[in-house]
């Protein structure tokens, strides 16, 4: 495993230039995967290969994607309510381009502005619109991830939506400029050794002579100012169940830390806090935990350093696993993670010669890109 100490490096972050768009992408999913099992990460995300035909549905992902349409539509109403009506109209088209669907979003927002129907009607309609826009269809084998359950959940989300926050806007007089709603990010994290530093565990520097440029991509769900005028990252998460463990995971989450670092770069403002908005599908009938929670999280400078340490070393591990996926370490404690068998088990349990054949001839290509319109992590 990689052993770079970030204290020995100088790190800068900037937007990816056009001439750098050929660089392979790194995202939080890839880095989490390599720490779960390097073999898994190298095959699944380094080479974009899955076992089987790739026709089975990933319903949790589909539900998350569908509801992110709802979350985005609801934030557009908030943006208009903040006084940025032209911005909201422009970004409706960015977020819902298919078949002119953005006209419906514009109409809902305008109706709310011109009548006394109020915010709640608009928020509910926009939430339901998002599910409709996703074209999500029920799977008869899954009785929980259904449209009815998603609609029930989004109505609750709309009913409790916090309209007092203000959406971050990069340019007040330019509607087409970036706003804090579903921001795709594509940045370069440039890491170089401090002058005079060498890395004792390596024969040649893993950062090269010119440093290392890592292309980090993802999507920020919401960027707002809270009631105290502090920049706040909002992350929407859908889940099957909200309990104490689910809430606690955000205390340390590297994803939140990394996204806060990116949010600072986008807004050129200080940002130290995030709020994870968890929505359970289905909503619980009885549970000590509500099916909708807002989990606050803060990130100090030392936590950012921890993330950088994890980020840089995980990238190096991911690159190693990608370069030689069948030689990558096998973390067998992960073979039955989440109480399910890892889909790569037939590959890993085969002998070496057979592995080559499975890898080269029997797997399906399925690319994961968090910037794609169809996914929401």
Grouping H, G, I as helix, E, B as strand and the rest as coil, residue 191 is strand
Please select the residue that binds ligand SF4; options are 25, 33, 34, 37, rule is CB under 6 A: 37
Report whether 130 contacts 119 (CB < 8 A).
Answer: no
In the complex with ligand SF4, which residue's Cβ is closer, 20 or 341? 341
Among 34, 40, 49, 69, binds ligand SF4 (CB under 6 A): 40
Site mask for ligand SF4 (CB under 6 A), range 267-306, x = bound: ----------------------------------------
- 36 versus 243: smaller Cβ distance to ligand SF4: 36
Least separation, in Å, of the C-beta of 329 and ligand SF4? 8
Report which of 332, 314, 331 is spatially closest to residue 26, judged by C-alpha positions: 314
Asked if residues 111 and 85 have their Cβ atoms less than 8 Å apart, the reply is: no
Backbone dihedral region for residue 360 (phi beyond 0: left; psi -120 to 50: alpha; all else: beta): alpha
Scan residues 299-358 and list those touching ligand SF4 (CB under 6 A): 330-332, 334-335, 342, 344-345, 348
When the beta carbons of 312 and 342 are compared against ligand SF4, the nearer one is 342
Nearer to ligand SF4, 120 or 348 (CB): 348
- Count of alpha carbons within 13 angstroms of residue 171, beta-carbon side: 6
The two beta strands, 271-280 and 231-239, are parallel
> How many residues form the binding site for ligand SF4 (CB under 6 A)?
12
d(CA 339, CA 147): 26
Alpha carbon distance 225, 215 (integer Å): 28
Give least dist CB 346 to ligand SF4, A.
9
Closer of 107 and 332 to ligand SF4 (Cβ): 332
For 220-265, the DSSP string reads: EEEEEE-TTS-EEEEEEEEES---HHHHHGGGT-HHHHHHHHHHHH
The bridge status of strand 212-225 relative to strand 25-26 is parallel
- Indicate whether 153 belongs to the interface with ligand SF4 (CB under 6 A): no
**33-41, 113-121, 232-240, 255-263 -> range binding ligand SF4 (CB under 6 A):** 33-41
Residues 93-112 contacting ligand SF4, CB under 6 A: none
Q: How far is the CB of 350 from ligand SF4 (least distance, A)?
A: 10
DSSP class of 236: E
Kindly state the helix (H) or strand (E) to which residue 29 belongs, with its residue range: helix 28-36
> Does position 33 bind ligand SF4 by CB under 6 A?
no
Query: What's the min distance (Å) between Cβ of 295 and ligand SF4?
Result: 29
Residue from 265, 275, 255 nearest 377 by CA:
255
Chain residues binding ligand SF4 by CB under 6 A are 37, 39-40, 330-332, 334-335, 342, 344-345, 348
């Amino acid at each position: 495993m990689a052993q770079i100490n970030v204290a020995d490096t100088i790190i800068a972050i900037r937007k990816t230039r056009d001439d750098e768009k050929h660089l392979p992408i790194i995202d939080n999913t890839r880095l989490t995967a390599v720490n779960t099992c390097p073999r898994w990460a190298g095959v699944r995300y380094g080479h974009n290969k899955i076992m089987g035909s790739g026709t089975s549905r990933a319903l949790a992902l589909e539900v998350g994607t569908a509801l992110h349409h709802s979350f985005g539509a609801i934030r557009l109403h908030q943006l208009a309510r903040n006084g940025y009506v032209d911005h909201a109209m422009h970004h409706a088209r960015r977020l819902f381009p298919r078949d002119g669907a953005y006209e419906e979003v514009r109409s809902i927002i305008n109706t709310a502005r011109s009548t006394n129907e109020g915010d709640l009607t608009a928020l509910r309609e926009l939430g339901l619109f998002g599910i409709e826009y996703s074209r999500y269809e029920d799977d008869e084998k899954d009785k929980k991830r259904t449209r009815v359950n998603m609609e029930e959940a989004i109505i609750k989300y709309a009913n409790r939506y916090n309209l007092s926050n203000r959406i971050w806007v990069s340019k007040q007089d330019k509607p087409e400029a970036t706003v804090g709603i579903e921001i795709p990010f594509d940045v370069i994290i440039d890491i170089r050794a401090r002058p005079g530093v060498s890395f004792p565990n390596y024969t040649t520097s893993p950062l090269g002579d010119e440093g290392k440029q890592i292309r980090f991509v993802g999507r920020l769900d919401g960027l707002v100012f809270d009631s105290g005028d502090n920049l706040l990252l909002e992350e929407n998460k859908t889940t099957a169940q909200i309990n104490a463990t689910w809430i606690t995971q955000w205390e340390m989450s590297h994803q939140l830390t990394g996204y806060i670092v990116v949010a600072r770069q986008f807004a050129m403002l200080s940002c130290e806090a995030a709020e994870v908005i968890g929505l359970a599908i289905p909503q619980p009938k009885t549970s000590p935990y509500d099916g909708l929670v807002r989990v606050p999280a803060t990130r100090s400078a030392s936590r950012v350093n921890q993330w950088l340490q994890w980020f840089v070393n995980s990238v190096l591990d991911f690159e190693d696993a990608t370069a030689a996926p069948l030689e990558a370490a096998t973390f067998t404690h992960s073979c039955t993670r989440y109480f399910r068998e890892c889909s790569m088990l037939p590959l890993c349990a085969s002998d070496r010669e057979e592995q080559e054949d499975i890898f080269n001839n029997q797997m399906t290509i399925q690319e994961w890109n968090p910037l794609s319109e169809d996914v929401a992590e």
